[in-house]
Structure 1
């Protein structure tokens, strides 16, 4: 069996997929090969799986980008995130976080917003690029709080992080993963978790909602999906194996060390409903941003 990761090797999605595959192999009773098919924001790999034979031997490790944002952003959709897949399970979630350079005098999201308001046009924030979930989430904050702040788009998360660490850009949106070591050493400070509840890995960090921002819930997720038309027996069998894998305590520890929350109770039906809800959540933010994938 092969699991297609629609992004380059070495990223958070690739790392999660490989950890999952290592522990799921025994449950599947056959080797699992991870294939990276990066390009076009995840579209190339996702469309490849959508066109694959629905025989249970090809699956996709999708994300909020491929199955939450891209469906609205694609001018000419290369795939339908609902109709073209038999979604097996949501296997993990990871909230976005707001981080600042240590020189920024803000310790939570409320303090950051008030700081930006005191100096309109002075502050800027970095993201991994136009149309990414990080940019869209911050645009929500800009719109709802009427903030005058500049977006600086980079080609990927790493160059953005380097400039934040250097103090060139004061604010940053990302998932926990790339920031954990820098937060622990004080080179960057995570001030908010954009989730309904605090992180189990960093319980001291307040959520956006706790300081007065209802609706500040944005993050990524990973969904395991087969091509549409896969037999129900195969989908259900794969779901049972996936959920058994996600209950592995060693895997859970590995994922939580990266601030990824394992999901252990997803069904094919709830996975499809989750994807649909994510599309609906991101759609107005995508349209308001004007971002498109040609």
Structure 2
């Protein structure tokens, strides 16, 4: 299968590292013009340089701002009024016991993980529908269907993304715009790597051991028995952005290594 995204324009939120960076790289490799977004100009510039250094002729631009706020969303929309592909990847996580999560944390997680995608999809999907083609994606998580006790607030926001994704797909029925959610499992992203690295340093053991113990203890249902790579998740995002994925919409597509024990 050859995926050709030439003449397509894409925005990937939270794309200066981890899964977002891998998705941006994958879309650029398929020929799309990709807008990199991040909180600081320095991070955006570094990501653009990283992708440009790996992909000859990559079409890239960037917008710096906090997309976890309404002002940040408005800033991006003003700079980039239209797009063909919107990947709502921006997200935060933090292990914290339920009884230790204050209101401020609940609201912050909802703003960043849910409202960032809502605001952008509300704007960009309308233009896609008028043009008769578009792709909207929400990066949810297996934690959206298996709420982790160690970070309930995170899991709740990931469930909310599934609802938003399906509801938007229903709203765009027959327009040529597809809307899907991707559910990664435990993935070796920058944030997860930093988290495991901190634990490894505290325990005086290799990071690889911490990862193995995490899978064995917290995700024993994993069928691949390891963390996924960011590129493995990105491959699914690139496919869902393609012409070939035109009949896939309203779906929650898992790239979880089999962690979710379900036949559908």
So what's the TM-score if we normalise by structure 2?
0.30
> Looking at both structures, which has the greater relative contact order when contacts are Cα pairs under 8 Å and sequence separation is at least 6?
1
The structure where strand makes up a greater share of residues is: 1
Determine which structure has more spread, i.e. the larger CA radius of gyration.
1
So what's the TM-score if we normalise by structure 1?
0.27
The structure where helix makes up a greater share of residues is: 2
